[in-house]
Amino acid sequence: MPDTESYSFLSSLPADLFAPPPGPMMLFDKFPPEDMFWFIHCLLFISLCLVLVGYQTKISSIATGIFILIICGFTFSIGKINHNILLGITPIVMAFSNWGAAFSVDTVMGRVPKKVESWPLALLALMIGFMMFTAGVPKILGGWLDHATQATEGHFLNQFFANERQAMLAPYVLYLKMDLIWELLDWATIIFEIGFLFAVLKSRWVKLFICFALIFHLLNLLILNIIFIFNFIAYAAFFDWTKIFVKFTAWISDFIKKPSYPDYYSGVIFGVLLFILFLVIRIISDMDILLQDSAVVFYDVLFSVVAIVIVLFLAARKISVVLDNRRDRVYT
């Protein structure tokens, strides 16, 4: 999502600079006035609030995605396409999963069935895989697999000098002579981006590649200062939130010393705590105390690091379970 300050800039651009990418935005012939941007922004805010409380969840989710895609579409019409389209696609796809079947106003009012559809997750995985695939194929055609050149290093140097992305580990990487590592990164990038589409065949493979994606995005953040934080919204859809909520509910029950309470009680507390946490993180980021004069902001780093910590924890737990099972088979 663009910053609201960009609305004035986009609306001031002449029609000659309006160059929309292939798609619905080609129905327009110029940028809309600033008031129209703010009108769409207000509609987006309202729809997001409705999704948050779960009121008419399906309709409000689709509306949220459409408003995001409209704003992003106009932003992309100046020639620069960013990596945040999943932010708009995810609520549209998940609207059909009936994700308003729990902890929502719709549920309290008895408006939605409790059955949850799983095919939207498969569709979302397919979309992510296709996006990765379309990013990998041009790299192959562009010579990324040529052992005589290191494309990742060239991309890094371009980001460092041309775009002045010099935060995080970039200054230290600049002076490292590591052609072999750069070449390995070239191949790893291609294998990851092409392989994601084939991983859609099995849910376990999708989750594994999402873990790879988080590592991939963290490296991009630390070395290239390129941010993919909006992709995390789509990745979070594949996370097992039920286990987290069950443990959170048990913790709340022990804390308030009350074994039984309404089902939505824990959901409300969980949502409020998350909202407060995100609000504090956003305030700290806006204060610009850390990472000054950088394209990277505090919440980008924090969420990326937290995601990697979760991945490492889950991997360690999975390895522990596998080792325990093997040990049990040996002794039995």
- DSSP assignment of 130-147 equals HHHHHHHHHHHHTTTT-T
pLDDT band for position 258 (cuts 50, 70, 90): low
Task: Decide if pLDDT at 23 tops 90.
Answer: no
The region of weakest confidence among 83-92, 117-126, 268-277 is 268-277
CA 325 to the chain's CA centroid: 34
Arithmetic mean of pLDDT over the chain:
88
Selection from 295, 248, 298 nearest residue 278 by Cα = 298
Task: Give the start-to-end residue ranges of the domains of the chain.
Answer: 1-117, 118-239+288-332
Q: Looking at residues 31-60, what average pLDDT do you find?
A: 94
| Percentage of the chain lying above the pLDDT 70 cut | 94
Q: What digits encode the pLDDT tens for the residues 193-240?
A: 999 999 999 999 999 999 999 999 999 999 999 888 889 999 999 988
The whole-number pLDDT of residue 331 equals 62
The whole-number pLDDT of residue 84 equals 85
The whole-number pLDDT of residue 262 equals 63
Q: Looking at residues 165-194, what average pLDDT do you find?
A: 92
Residue type at 87? L
| Nearest-angstrom CA–CA distance, 260 and 246 | 14
Selection from 192, 82, 206 nearest residue 136 by Cα = 192
| Nearest-angstrom CA–CA distance, 118 and 99 | 10
The whole-number pLDDT of residue 240 equals 83
Q: Could you identify the residue written with the tokens 């949220």?
A: 64
The dihedrals phi and psi of 98, each to the nearest 5 degrees, come to 65, 45
CA angle 157, 179, 171 (to 5 degrees): 40
Taking the model in full, what pTM does it have? 0.89
Q: What digits encode the pLDDT tens for the residues 94-131?
A: 999 998 888 888 888 887 777 889 999 999 999 999 99
Question: What DSSP letter does each residue of 265-310 carry, written as one string?
Answer: HHHHHHHHHHHHHHHHHHHHHHTT-SSTTSS--HHHHHHHHHHHHH
The whole-number pLDDT of residue 71 equals 93
